[in-house]
Amino acid sequence: MDPNVHLPQVPLRKRTETLEDFNKIPAHVFPASAGRTEDGELVIAGNRVTHLADQYGTATFVMDEADFRARCRRLAEAFGGGERVHYASKAFLSRTVCRWVDEEGLALDVASHGELAVALAAGFPPERITVHGNNKNHEFITAAVQAGVELVVIDSLIEIDRVAEIARQEGRVQDVLVRVKPGVHADTHEFIATSHEDQKFGFSLASGSAENACLSCLSTDGLRLRGLHCHVGSQVFEADGFALAADRLLGLWARLVSGEKTVDADVTALDVLDLGGGYGIAYTPDQEALDVEEVAGDLLSRVATKAASYGVNAPVVNVEPGRAVVGPSAVTVYRVGTVKDVHTADDTVRRYISVDGGMSDNIRPALYQAEYDCRLANRLATGDLVSTRVVGSHCESGDILINDALMPDDIAPGDLLVIPATGAYCYMMASRYNMMTRPPVIVVADGESRVMIRRETVEDVLALENF
Ligand code: LLP
């Protein structure tokens, strides 16, 4: 039996293709505060993007604080409280963002020693931190246990012993979840689907190894099993995948808490079902974000009903959205450097617009064929629409930000192009390929702006090197 359930792809609506559409600021793709002034300039949280570009240079990330906080609140409300929503910090992490997440009452997920270190440096309460990773080393686990994190998510049998030993050495009992692959294949890019069988994360439900891992945790001194975890994938639009994963995990849950296989074990601490993140957002105007209220309502009632049908108490449901919190809160501002018409093989013409960033600040198009859109920030466009590719400045032909879009032909060197929905997995996956140093992240709020992360300089790079 193929334990992976393949979900259908949701068809996307056709992309907008008129000049009027190009000049519009689509509210579901941009931060909520974005709009145009009467003279046609793009404004975010009361800041003209032209002023931001003058002050901070380009390329630069601009993050709308109120938008970020509003998304935290919306998710907390949908899932019945901030402590149920664990912001997946891999999407975007800084001490400032930790402070926002803390102030909004959310919990935090970290997936590396570095992420944990940043969270702790920000003073984020460890009792609201969950620790992930398929290869947590001794130092990372020790730091987590010593800090007193709430949960460590167990990803392999080796880790059961490793975490238990460290907890015992530290004189603690560490609360853990067991990561389970429920065999639901999310219909997203293969690299970001994480719940089918043949990938590195978690224990298989179908083969019984997840159950064995739970039993092993229950019988290991130094560990206290609090529940199960799964994450079906990222940028998922098909809500059924989450529900199906929850159903499958509840089968194992019921077997554990009903004492069928756990006669001598104390199962009273089991109270958490963590269903991961992955809620899809709109990157282009034709897409629509997953409705988190709908997903939350469906999941919570499903878990309650299913648990009742097994005759067991329903667990609390934790979730771990990253992209749905920070993705739409930030944009990237680039300045156009060159414009060139290129004859393609079938002798049509494609316009290439080069901007002062590229795959070093947004690897997602190259890595996942991710689609983005852009808008002119310094004025309204007036030209005819032509087939255009927006490319970066790297010494690589795959350095493409927008592969194929109809864009006005009056866009010229000096214009400012803004790509929306770059808050998640862009800065965090940035490199300094070609020694193009990382852009700054600027916070905008109430007509003010400030630097969250400054622009990296060549001096920063040289300082790392012994010469
Ligand atoms: N929880 C776990 C265990 C995860 O592995 C992830 C993402 C999340 C939560 C958050 O997923 P989100 O809500 O942000 O979709 N670099 C890729 C995404 C990889 C995500 C890996 N895990 C991208 O740029 O799309």
pLDDT tens for each residue of 299-355: 999 999 999 999 999 999 999 999 999 999 999 999 999 999 998 887 888 999 999
pLDDT digits (tens, 9 = 90+) for 389-400: 999 999 999 999
- From atom 6 of ligand 1, which residue's Cα is the shortest distance away? 277
Q: Where in the chain is the domain with CATH 2.40.37.10?
A: 15-63+327-462
Compute the average pLDDT of residues 366-392. Answer: 96
Phi-psi region of 133 (alpha: psi -120 to 50; beta: other; left: phi over 0): left
Please state which architecture CATH assigns to domain 66-325: Alpha-Beta Barrel (3.20)
In short, whether 192's Cβ falls inside 6 Å of ligand 1 is yes
- Lowest mean per-residue pLDDT among 18-27, 189-198, 224-233, 437-446: 189-198
Judged against a pLDDT cut of 80, whether residue 430 lies above it is answered with yes
The pTM is what? 0.95
From-to residues of CATH 3.20.20.10 in the chain: 66-325
| Residue that the structure tokens 């290439």 belong to | 352
- With beta carbons less than 8 A apart as the criterion, state whether 359 and 366 touch: yes
For residue 452, the model assigns a pLDDT of: 98
- pLDDT grade for 12, boundaries at 50, 70 and 90: very low
- CB atoms under 10 Å from CB of 256, counted, come to 23
The beta-strand segments (E) located in 68-139 are 86-88, 107-110, 129-131
Could you give the C-alpha distances from 33 to 27, 59, 93, 157, in angstroms and in order?
8, 21, 22, 48
Q: 42-45, long-range: CB within 8 Å, 24+ apart, which pairs?
A: 42/375, 42/376, 42/377, 42/378, 42/416, 42/418, 44/331, 44/444, 45/444, 45/445, 45/446, 45/447
CA nearest ligand 1 atom 5, residue: 231
The CB of 132 under 6 Å from ligand 1? The reply is yes
- Asked whether the predicted pLDDT for residue 455 surpasses 80, the reply is yes
Weakest mean pLDDT among 194-198, 209-213, 348-352: 194-198
Q: Tell me the pLDDT tens digit for each residue of 36-59.
A: 999 999 999 999 999 999 999 999
Average pLDDT estimate for 72-76: 98
**What CATH code would you report for 15-63+327-462?**
2.40.37.10
* CA-327 nearest atom, ligand 1: 14
Share of the chain above pLDDT 90, in %: 87
Best residue among 110, 234, 326 to mutate for probing ligand 1's pocket (most ligand atoms within 8 Å of CB) is: 234
The radius of gyration computed from the CA coordinates of the chain, to the nearest angstrom, equals 23
| Exposed e or buried b per residue across 320-351, where buried means at least 16 C-beta atoms within 10 angstroms of its C-beta | bbbbbbbbbbbbbbbbbeebeeeeeeeeeeeb
User: Cα of 47 to ligand 1 centre, how many Å?
Assistant: 30
Give yes or no for a contact between 64 and 329, defined as CB atoms under 8 angstroms apart. Answer: yes
β-pair type (330-343, 203-204): unpaired
Interval 90-97 mean pLDDT: 98
Ligand 1 center–CA 80 separation, angstroms: 22
Q: Please, what is the Cα angle at 232 between 231 and 235, to 5 degrees? A: 105
Clarify whether 395 is annotated catalytic: yes
